[in-house]
Amino acid sequence: MSANALEPLHLTVVSAGLSVPSSTRLLADRLTESVREQLADAGREVEVQVVELRDLAADIANNLVTGFPSPTLAKAIDAVTSADGLIAVTPVFTASYSGLFKSFFDVIDNDALTAKAVLAAATGGTARHSLALEHALRPLFAYLRAIVVPTAVYAASEDWGGNGDPLTDTLPRRIARAGGELAELMRGRTGSAARPADEAAVVPFAQQLDSLRPA
């Protein structure tokens, strides 16, 4: 396949930060840039769509109550489920992902993220919560049968500065490594982002009935 036959890849970025400016969004942007650069190196263009969950907070709560998304939320869900790759970043609240972050993934169909390439990341006030990525986000995406890249990126407040110690000043390296891993998973895709089948395939009735006949 020649490179010019390839369409741009679609990368969707979900940020669950609540404040403006938000360090969660800052981390999301750094990761996005890393993925973009590394895909560009491989000759692939990427179109990025950012989903700020704060803007959808009421819609997400309404969907939990009603069982269906508003048109705005439906668009955001579609952006996530139809993407070639997903970056998902949450602040750590009470030792886990934020409630808003979880609620957003709760209103997405269980099968809609199957085989999706995902980069999971989180922010927090202290590095002591960094394993929330492994205890909370990775199992969430494993349940959804998504493919989570090996490097999950946690940024504590101190990571935005640095103390000159090469053993702890690692955020840029971790961002680059994680971005490379997601880019690697995405670059093999054609770019005609795989949309989930809208209509469930119908099992012919005779077959449904036959499967119930006593042996």
Partner 1 sequence: MQFGIFSIGDVTADPATGRTRSEHERLKSMVAAAVKAEEVGFDVFATGEHHNPPFVSSSPTTLLSHVAARTDRIILSTSTTLITTNDPVKVAEDYAVLQHLADGRVDLMMGRGNTGPVYPWFGKDVRQGIPLAIENYALLHQLWRDDVVDWEGRFRTPLQGFTSTPRPLDGVPPFVWHGSVRSPEIAEQAAYYGDGFFVNNLFGPMSHFTKLINLYRERYAHYGHGTPEQAIVGAGGHVFVRRNSQDAVREYRPYFAASPVYGGGPSIEQYMAQTSLTVGSPQEIIDKTLSFRDHFGDYQRQLFNIDMAGLPLKTVLEQLDLLGEEVLPALRKEFDAVRPSSVAEAPTHASLLARRGAQPDTQSEEAGK
Of 2, 51, 48, 54, nearest to 182 (Cα)? Answer: 48
Per CB under 8 A, which of residues 45..74 are in contact with partner 1? 61-62, 65-68, 70
Measured in whole angstroms, the distance separating CA 69 from the mean position of its chain's CA atoms is: 19
| Binding flag, residue 205, partner 1 (CB under 8 A) | yes
Considering the rule CB under 8 A, would residue 214 count as an interface residue with partner 1? yes
Q: How far is the CB of 62 from partner 1 (least distance, A)?
A: 5
The residue type of 163 is: N
Under the criterion CB under 8 A, does residue 208 sit at the interface with partner 1? Answer: yes
Rg (CA), the chain: 19
4 vs 205, which CB is nearer to partner 1?
205
209 touches partner 1 (CB under 8 A):
yes
Residue partners of 132: CB distance under 8 A and separation at least 6: 92, 95, 96, 97, 122, 124, 154
- Give the interface segment with partner 1, choosing from 121-129, 132-140, 176-184, 207-215 (CB under 8 A): 207-215
Q: Quick one: which of 93, 15, 104 has its CA closest to 60?
A: 104
78 binding partner 1? (CB under 8 A):
no
Residue type, 30: R
Nearer to partner 1, 70 or 114 (CB): 70
Q: Where along the sequence are the contacts to partner 1 (CB under 8 A)?
A: 61-62, 65-68, 70, 198-200, 202-206, 208-209, 211-214
